[in-house]
Amino acid sequence: MKTAVIQFPGSNCDMDGVHAAGAVIGQQAVPVWHTETSLEGFDAILVPGGFSYGDHLRSGAIAAHSPVMKEVKRLAEKGVPVIGICNGFQILTEAGLLPGALGRNNSLHFLCHDVHLRVETTHSPFTNQYQKGQIIKIPIAHNEGSYYADSETLNRLEGEGLVAFRYVTPDGHEVLEGNPNGALNNIAGILNEKRNVLGMMPHPERYVEKLLGNTDGLGVFESLLEYVAGGVK
Amino acid sequence: MKYLAKVYITLKKSILDPQGRTVERSLHNQGYASVLNARVGKYIELTFEGDRSKIETELKDIAENILSNPVMESVHWDLEQVEQQVH
């Protein structure tokens, strides 16, 4: 599996993404600068976290208009798996690849700590190696992670099982105490209609090795590998 | 002709505005009890040169599709002709 990890001015989780989608799972991952216009030959695309363009205007808004994003859109429409993490999630919503938007955390604080997530669907290129309902611990680090969509969009996401991860308490309760940022329906990650695009605020690439203290994020990259290798359809 | 566009962006009324709420609470704490509500938005100035109708078309596109996010924000703008040097 060969994964393109897109780099924008201000990306800062790019090399973590290269490591997680590359060496950690014994695959190839390559950083790609945002001015590139072709991503031919890549099996998967990772839009990493960070602060593209310093979060000016709105988080992800300027990056969403980068040359490379036209190519990301083209390949996403062809079915290539695309994962956006944190700022990557913001970029994918701004680019129209995922519905909704991310607003300021309701506390107005930058949040940087572990959260618990419930895996809501295993039917995706990014979650097939988890168990449905599994509780995993993954770190967040964001200022604008409060997921918002109008009620029609929310109903569609829920009805079609497109919520991938939801914030919960450590024992799996979907309550306000488990929700760090005020995201509607405790949404931490969503899929597009074709299920080949995932956006999530927490950082699975930060928990992929015992050395890092936890391997709960590894499943995302192992799922991607399984999907690209053809083991899961 | 030179024109100055003033673009005002606010969160939609239906969306919680945590910055506005914080300002509102702070004003109440300082005794300004008559303040009913505070909302925090953005103000962006753009200067243009050229044909007015072309500028109006471009400004609409810029304001609605780049400067604001229609999922969460409302936007409105004014366009005025300016004589002096604007920056």
Its ipTM equals 0.84
Structure confidence at residue B84 (pLDDT): 64
Option in B16, B18, B69 nearest A61 (CB): B69
Tokens of A207: 């928990």
- Cβ pair A196, A125 in contact under 8 A: yes
Structure confidence at residue A176 (pLDDT): 86
Tokens of B41: 């938005």
Catalytic residues of A: 86, 203, 205
Across the A:B interface, residue pairs with CB atoms under 8 Å apart total 34
Distance CA A118, CA A121 (A): 9
Tokens of A80: 């290539």
Q: Does the beta-carbon distance from B22 to A93 stay under 8 Å?
A: no
Instruction: Tell me the per-residue pLDDT of A142-166, one tens digit each, with 9 for 90 and over.
Output: 999 999 999 999 999 999 999 999 9
Option in A104, A108, A148 nearest B71 (CB): A148
Option in B15, B19, B66 nearest A108 (CB): B19
Query: Mean pLDDT in chain A?
Result: 97
Task: Give B2's contacts (C-beta < 8 A, 6+ positions apart).
Answer: B47, B48, B49, B81, B82, B83, B86
Express as a percent the part of chain A with pLDDT over 90: 97
Q: Is the pLDDT of residue A119 over 60?
A: yes
Q: Does the beta-carbon distance from A57 to B72 stay under 8 Å?
A: no
Option in A103, A106, A108 nearest B72 (CB): A103
Structure confidence at residue B16 (pLDDT): 87
Closest chain B residue to A64, measured at CA: B66
Q: Does the beta-carbon distance from A104 to B18 stay under 8 Å?
A: yes
Structure confidence at residue A231 (pLDDT): 72
Instruction: Tell me the per-residue pLDDT of A5-27, one tens digit each, with 9 for 90 and over.
Output: 999 999 999 999 999 999 999 99
Structure confidence at residue B66 (pLDDT): 95
Distance CA B66, CA B9 (A): 11
Q: Is the pLDDT of residue B87 over 80?
A: no
Structure confidence at residue B23 (pLDDT): 95
Q: Does the beta-carbon distance from B71 to A105 stay under 8 Å?
A: no
Confidence of residue B86 (pLDDT cuts 50, 70, 90): low
Structure confidence at residue B85 (pLDDT): 62
Q: Determine the angle formed by the axes of helices A218-228 and A14-21, rounding to 10 degrees.
A: 60
**Range list of β-strands (E), chain A:** 2-7, 28-33, 44-47, 82-85, 101-103, 111-119, 135-142, 146-148, 163-168, 187-191, 197-200
Instruction: Tell me the per-residue pLDDT of A86-99, one tens digit each, with 9 for 90 and over.
Output: 999 999 999 999 99
Residues of B in contact with A150 (CB under 8 A): 71
Residues of B in contact with A97 (CB under 8 A): none
**Closest Cα of chain A to B65: distance in Å?**
10
Instruction: Tell me the per-residue pLDDT of B11-52, one tens digit each, with 9 for 90 and over.
Output: 999 898 999 999 999 999 999 999 999 999 999 999 999 999
Closest chain B residue to A100, measured at CA: B71
Radius of gyration of chain B (CA): 17
Express as a percent the part of chain A with pLDDT over 70: 100
Distance CA A140, CA A41 (A): 31
Report the pLDDT averaged over residues B58-66.
97
- Cβ pair A184, A158 in contact under 8 A: no
Q: Is the pLDDT of residue A105 over 60?
A: yes
Q: Does the beta-carbon distance from B69 to A101 stay under 8 Å?
A: yes
Confidence of residue B79 (pLDDT cuts 50, 70, 90): very high
The pTM score is: 0.94
Q: Is the pLDDT of residue A233 over 90?
A: no
